[in-house]
């Protein structure tokens, strides 16, 4: 390559009066940005390598560092923006598909932020969650709809296999391989303490984590990595992954470099080989095919575990969800297009799929219209960022939510969106032992517990304000939401009124 057209995005600014040349920044940067110059007796930086992950900034004992966005600029254009130009340069350099990580940074509407929550005033009492009971326990799975009695007149209740959550939040699928073993340990231990579930993702379940089985959802994806009878029976539920919000319609590719001995054993593939998940499940080309897999899995687990089908939010989501609800699945998980990923082609991540808010509202509506809402529970994911988003999702019809990016943030992720490089300085999205030891599960799991506990407190506060004392009473209660700055069409799809109405 004759000329590199790509200039660094960031500048490393070091206050040399504060710098004590302890070289922590140098030792902690897996991208090798910082180095010591003996001639100058000074730390220097090569900002072309900086991904802006803040590891050095956070660990610098004298706060001598900051990373700033460079003001070096192209001639401004609203059409050919800086990122478009840089992407073209990068592709002209490599001839490859652009890769990105985590959720799309593009400015698409965030409908959570265009909905407002109701509260009680005068005519109906609000509830103080500190003084009165507030139920956040949630059950997922098929619900018994009809009432029947036995000969003695006793109520007969049919129970279907389901999940019991102490709060309507679960950690969504992140595979062992895409994230580190320590990160998985944090999720598993936190799920156990919180009485919720974490999800193995498609990478199988490490032998050390079978003990967290009762708080684990085991995933079966198109690559079928690490799937065997004991695995299926190890978890509390089985999830068939059809699609992922960040990359609907395409498979996955975990590079061989990340397949070390332990990951290889867990995934049941040779060490160093690329783990390629096909775009479709090659045995699923219709709802009938899906039904076969659902029942194969139920058969393998003696009809004791609920089966989740996870799909990406795409254009015909309502019809697809209706099909899934009739396939024998107990839970449908919908993943919106702003959701995260360990690696996805940039163009797919930034252009394919639809927002979770619209998908969730239309699925809930459709299932109600068809009278099959009780056949399944609906779990919404793909950019649920706060307890307010959780409350809005439940009011739109979700039974529970899946969170992943907030969980990673709690573990130290700084959203530098460089997971695909495998050099995560925070020890999360990496398989390098010297890097993942940076995530101490003892600290990490506690931070996850704190996060979900804090959200649960806030959910209770908001429910109390609305005069509602259980998740059950909030679910699908769209009168508790009002739109702001939305068109009539958007309001119709969300099934909510505009603020002031």
Partner 1 sequence: MKKVHVNEDKCLGCRLCEYWCAFSHSGEKYMPDAFNLQKPPVPRIVVEENDKITFAVACRHCDDAICVKSCISGALSKQADGTVLVDESKCVGCHTCVLVCPFGAIRMDEGKAVKKCDLCLKTGGVPSCVQHCPNRAIVYEER
Structural tokens at position 313: 């939010």
CB of 59 to partner 1, least distance (A): 6
Q: How far apart are the C-alpha atoms of 88 and 155, rounded to whole Å? A: 67
Stretch that binds partner 1, among 14-22, 81-89, 326-334, 374-382 (CB under 8 A): 14-22
Binds partner 1 by CB under 8 A, chosen from 433, 479, 484, 487: 433
**Under rule CB under 8 A, residue 19 binds partner 1:** yes
Stretch that binds partner 1, among 89-97, 102-110, 367-375, 435-443 (CB under 8 A): 435-443
Listed in order, strand segments (DSSP E) in 132-201 are 138-140, 148-149, 155-156, 163-165, 169-171, 198-199
**If phi over 0 gives left and psi between -120 and 50 gives alpha, with beta otherwise, what is residue 3?**
beta
**Under rule CB under 8 A, residue 17 binds partner 1:** yes
Binds partner 1 by CB under 8 A, chosen from 241, 258, 438, 460: 438
**Under rule CB under 8 A, residue 442 binds partner 1:** yes
Give the number of residues in contact with partner 1, rule: CB under 8 A. Answer: 21
Stretch that binds partner 1, among 19-27, 83-91, 311-319, 351-359 (CB under 8 A): 19-27
Stretch that binds partner 1, among 21-29, 131-139, 226-234, 397-405 (CB under 8 A): 21-29
Structural tokens at position 437: 């030891």
**Under rule CB under 8 A, residue 21 binds partner 1:** yes
Binding mask 80-119 for partner 1 (x = CB under 8 A): ----------------------------------------
184 vs 478 by CB, closer to partner 1: 184
298 vs 438 by CB, closer to partner 1: 438
Stretch that binds partner 1, among 22-30, 78-86, 285-293, 398-406 (CB under 8 A): 22-30
**Under rule CB under 8 A, residue 440 binds partner 1:** yes
**Under rule CB under 8 A, residue 38 binds partner 1:** no
Stretch that binds partner 1, among 170-178, 269-277, 347-355, 430-438 (CB under 8 A): 430-438
Question: Distances in Å between the alpha carbon of 114 and those of 13, 364, 392, 471?
Answer: 37, 19, 10, 22
17 vs 150 by CB, closer to partner 1: 17
CB distance 68 to 10 below 8 Å: yes
Q: How far apart are the C-alpha atoms of 205 and 202, rounded to whole Å? A: 9
Which of helix, strand or coil describes residue 295?
helix
Residue with tokens 């319609």: 249
Cα dihedral 183, 184, 187, 193 sign: negative
Q: How far apart are the C-alpha atoms of 371 and 491, rounded to whole Å? A: 23
Stretch that binds partner 1, among 42-50, 123-131, 252-260, 439-447 (CB under 8 A): 439-447
Q: How far apart are the C-alpha atoms of 131 and 470, rounded to whole Å? A: 15
Kindly report the backbone phi and psi dihedral angles of residue 44, in degrees, each rounded to the nearest multiple of 5, phi listed first.
Answer: -125, 170
**Under rule CB under 8 A, residue 40 binds partner 1:** no
Kindly report the backbone phi and psi dihedral angles of residue 117, in degrees, each rounded to the nearest multiple of 5, phi listed first.
Answer: -95, 145
Cα dihedral 362, 365, 371, 376 sign: positive
Q: How far apart are the C-alpha atoms of 442 and 189, rounded to whole Å? A: 9
CB of 448 to partner 1, least distance (A): 16
**Under rule CB under 8 A, residue 450 binds partner 1:** no
41: how many CB neighbours lie within 10 A of its CB? Answer: 9
Kindly report the backbone phi and psi dihedral angles of residue 195, in degrees, each rounded to the nearest multiple of 5, phi listed first.
Answer: 70, 35
**Under rule CB under 8 A, residue 20 binds partner 1:** yes
Binds partner 1 by CB under 8 A, chosen from 10, 14, 28, 403: 28
Closest by CA to 335, choosing from 272, 286, 398, 423, is 398
Binds partner 1 by CB under 8 A, chosen from 23, 72, 137, 497: 23
For 44, residues 6+ apart whose C-beta sits below 8 A from its C-beta are: 34, 35, 36, 37
**Under rule CB under 8 A, residue 411 binds partner 1:** no
Binds partner 1 by CB under 8 A, chosen from 57, 59, 90, 300: 59
CB of 206 to partner 1, least distance (A): 17
CB of 26 to partner 1, least distance (A): 10
Q: How far apart are the C-alpha atoms of 398 and 403, rounded to whole Å? A: 13
64 vs 174 by CB, closer to partner 1: 64
42 vs 273 by CB, closer to partner 1: 42
Q: How far apart are the C-alpha atoms of 332 and 235, rounded to whole Å? A: 17
**Under rule CB under 8 A, residue 42 binds partner 1:** no
Binds partner 1 by CB under 8 A, chosen from 24, 238, 394, 429: 24
Stretch that binds partner 1, among 2-10, 436-444, 453-461, 490-498 (CB under 8 A): 436-444
Cα dihedral 487, 492, 497, 501 sign: positive
Return the residues of window 202-261 that contact partner 1 according to CB under 8 A. none
Residue 203 burial class via C-beta count within 10 angstroms: exposed 0-12, middle 13-18, buried 19 and up: buried
Residue 38 burial class via C-beta count within 10 angstroms: exposed 0-12, middle 13-18, buried 19 and up: exposed
> What is the contact surface with partner 1 in residues (CB under 8 A)?
17-24, 27-28, 59, 61-62, 64, 433-434, 437-438, 440, 442-443
């Amino acid at each position: 390559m004759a000329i590199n057209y790509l200039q660094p995005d960031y500048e490393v600014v070091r206050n040399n009066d504060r710098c004590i040349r302890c070289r922590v920044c140098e030792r902690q940067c897996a991208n090798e940005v910082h180095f010591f110059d003996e001639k100058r007796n000074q730390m220097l930086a090569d900002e072309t390598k900086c991904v802006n992950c803040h590891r050095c900034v956070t660990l610098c004992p004298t706060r001598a560092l900051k990373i700033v966005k460079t003001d070096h600029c192209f001639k401004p254009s609203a059409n050919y923006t800086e990122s478009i130009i840089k992407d073209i340069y990068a592709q002209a350099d490599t001839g490859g598909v652009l890769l990105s990580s985590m959720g799309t940074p593009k400015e698409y509407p965030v409908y959570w932020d265009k909905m407002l929550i109701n509260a009680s005033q005068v005519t109906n009492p609000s509830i103080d969650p500190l003084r009165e009971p507030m139920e956040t326990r949630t059950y997922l799975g098929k619900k018994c709809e009809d009432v029947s009695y036995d000969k003695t007149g006793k109520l007969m209740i049919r129970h279907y296999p389901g999940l019991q959550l102490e709060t309507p939040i679960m950690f969504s699928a992140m595979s062992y391989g895409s994230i580190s073993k320590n990160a998985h340990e944090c999720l598993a231990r936190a799920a156990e303490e919180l009485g919720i579930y974490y999800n193995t993702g498609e990478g199988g379940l490490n032998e050390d984590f079978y003990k967290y089985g009762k708080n684990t959802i085991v995933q079966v994806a198109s690559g079928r990595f690490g799937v065997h009878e004991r695995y299926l029976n190890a978890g509390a539920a089985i999830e068939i992954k059809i699609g992922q919000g960040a990359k609907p319609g395409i498979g996955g590719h975990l590079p061989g470099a990340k397949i070390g001995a332990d990951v290889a054993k867990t995934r049941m593939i040779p060490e160093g080989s690329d783990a390629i998940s096909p775009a479709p499940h090659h045995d699923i080309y219709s709802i009938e095919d899906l039904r076969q897999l659902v029942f194969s899995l139920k058969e393998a687990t003696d009809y004791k575990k609920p089966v989740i089908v996870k799909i990406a939010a795409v254009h015909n989501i309502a019809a697809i969800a209706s099909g899934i609800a009739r396939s024998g699945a107990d839970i449908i998980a919908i993943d919106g297009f702003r959701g995260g990923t360990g690696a996805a082609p940039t163009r797919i991540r930034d252009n394919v799929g639809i927002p979770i808010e619209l998908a969730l509202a239309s699925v809930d509506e459709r299932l109600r219209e068809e009278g099959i809402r009780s056949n399944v529970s609906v779990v919404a994911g793909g950019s649920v960022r706060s307890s307010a988003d959780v409350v809005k999702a439940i009011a739109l019809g979700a039974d529970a939510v899946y969170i992943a990016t907030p969980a990673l943030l709690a573990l130290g992720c700084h959203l530098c969106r460089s997971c695909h490089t495998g050099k995560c300085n925070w020890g999360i999205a990496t398989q390098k032992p010297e890097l993942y030891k940076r995530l101490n599960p003892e600290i990490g799991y506690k931070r996850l517990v704190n996060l979900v506990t804090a959200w649960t407190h806030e959910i209770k506060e908001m429910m109390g304000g609305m005069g509602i004392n259980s998740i059950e009473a909030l679910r699908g209660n769209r009168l508790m939401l009002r739109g702001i700055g939305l068109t009539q069409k958007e309001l119709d799809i969300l099934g909510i009124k505009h603020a002031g109405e």
